[in-house]
């Protein structure tokens, strides 16, 4: 997915979540878990987390919970990042004072991040006009219909448009929050947070939100062995005939069932896995781009650059300059 953002003059660690009556509990918990927990084991400058609301008093949340916000909308004026964890409903109007506060925060340089139906709040500000965005796949058609100037991508986990970030539903909110940690603090810190959350350290924003239908258990077992083998041999050529034989399927059946299980064709899966491996090597090894291309199975730096830029919207060299760990960190 494209990584398009401008680096602020000074990092502002204050993250403010907009809470509201009818608060979506899981989406709020994603933000609170990533940005709100003290993490003394990590570097100084970790986030400070607050909540704000347009309404006064205790607010209802899902499942009988009550939430009392730390402050009112004026807290948005101090925030470096604002989280919109869902919304009351896709057809529920957003108060004008909330929209004005979000627009003012954006104009000041704050980042606005929505989870699930929170994208409807961002859309109502007009800030997403002419940009890509996503939301839960169930709401994508409605978002596109209500806000036709937005390019809605219903398939991806999240979209990073720099100051404006949107995620699909539920667990995709965790992926986007971790992506932002990665942007702010680098891959090492993001991986530590992911380990504490007991989730994968990185899922590419372009990964499919869901697969069309379940795969039979026996085929899951067969495909798991194939995928493990594919992952171990990224540097080597892997033909469909070879992979299908390993799964004991015809080539046609293998390609169909693979896509049903992963949301991608075998070729697309290999490209994504190779790009992910290239990211790891760019972040944590001293290898040249040419050497990394060979290690990942791309064959040449030209091919690596093509797929890397297509997937991430950035060149391998620029990515390495932005995210590579210093040598002293790689060697302890």
Q: What is the DSSP string of 187-253?
A: HHHHHHHHHHHTS-S---TTSBS--SS---HHHHHHHHHHHHHHHHTTTS---HHHHHHHTTS-HHH
CA distance 68 to 55: 10
- The Cα–Cα gap between 80 and 78 comes to 7
SS3 category, 35: helix
**Which of 116, 177, 218, 296 is an active site residue?**
116
Return the number of other C-beta atoms located less than 10 Å from residue 277's C-beta: 18
User: In whole angstroms, what is the distance from residue 7 CA to residue 138 CA?
Assistant: 33
In the residue annotation, 177 being an active-site residue is answered as: no
Say which DSSP state 331 is in. T
Task: For residues 28 and 19, give the distance between their C-alpha atoms in angstroms, rounded to a whole number.
Answer: 8
Please state, in angstroms and rounded to a whole number, the distance separating the CA atoms of residues 284 and 293.
Answer: 15
Contact 125, 103 (CB under 8 A): yes
On whether the CB atoms of residues 4 and 313 are closer than 8 A, the answer is yes
Nearest CA to 316 among 295, 329, 86, 330?
295
Active site residues: 116
């Amino acid at each position: 997915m494209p990584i398009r953002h401008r680096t602020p003059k000074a990092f502002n660690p204050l993250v403010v979540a907009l809470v509201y009556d009818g608060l979506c509990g899981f989406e709020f918990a994603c933000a609170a878990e990533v940005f709100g927990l003290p993490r003394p084991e990590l570097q100084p400058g970790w986030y400070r987390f607050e909540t704000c609301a347009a309404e006064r008093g205790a607010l209802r949340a899902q499942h009988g919970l009550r939430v009392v916000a730390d402050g009112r909308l004026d807290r948005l004026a101090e925030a470096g990042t604002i989280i919109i964890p869902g919304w009351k409903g896709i057809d529920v109007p957003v108060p004008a004072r909330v929209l004005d506060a979000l627009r003012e925060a954006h104009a000041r340089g704050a980042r606005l991040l929505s989870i699930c139906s929170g994208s409807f709040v961002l859309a109502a500000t007009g800030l997403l006009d002419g940009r890509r965005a996503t939301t839960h796949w169930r709401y994508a058609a409605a978002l596109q219909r209500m806000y036709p100037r937005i390019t809605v991508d219903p398939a991806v986990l999240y979209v990073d448009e720099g100051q404006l970030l949107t995620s699909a539903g539920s667990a995709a909110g965790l992926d986007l929050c971790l992506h932002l940690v990665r942007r702010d603090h680098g891959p090492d810190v993001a991986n530590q947070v992911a380990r504490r959350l007991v989730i994968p350290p990185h899922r590419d924003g372009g990964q499919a939100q869901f697969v069309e239908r379940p795969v039979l258990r026996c085929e899951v077992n067969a495909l798991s062995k194939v995928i493990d083998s594919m992952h171990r041999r990224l540097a080597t050529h892997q033909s469909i005939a070879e992979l299908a034989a390993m799964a004991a399927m015809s080539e046609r059946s293998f390609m169909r069932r693979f896509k049903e299980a992963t949301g991608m064709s075998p070729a697309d899966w290999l490209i994504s896995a190779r790009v992910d491996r290239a990211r790891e090597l760019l972040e944590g090894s001293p290898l040249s781009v040419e050497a990394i291309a060979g290690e990942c199975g791309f064959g040449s730096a030209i091919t690596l650059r093509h797929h890397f830029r297509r997937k991430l919207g950035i060149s391998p060299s620029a990515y390495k300059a932005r995210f590579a760990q210093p040598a002293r960190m790689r060697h302890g």
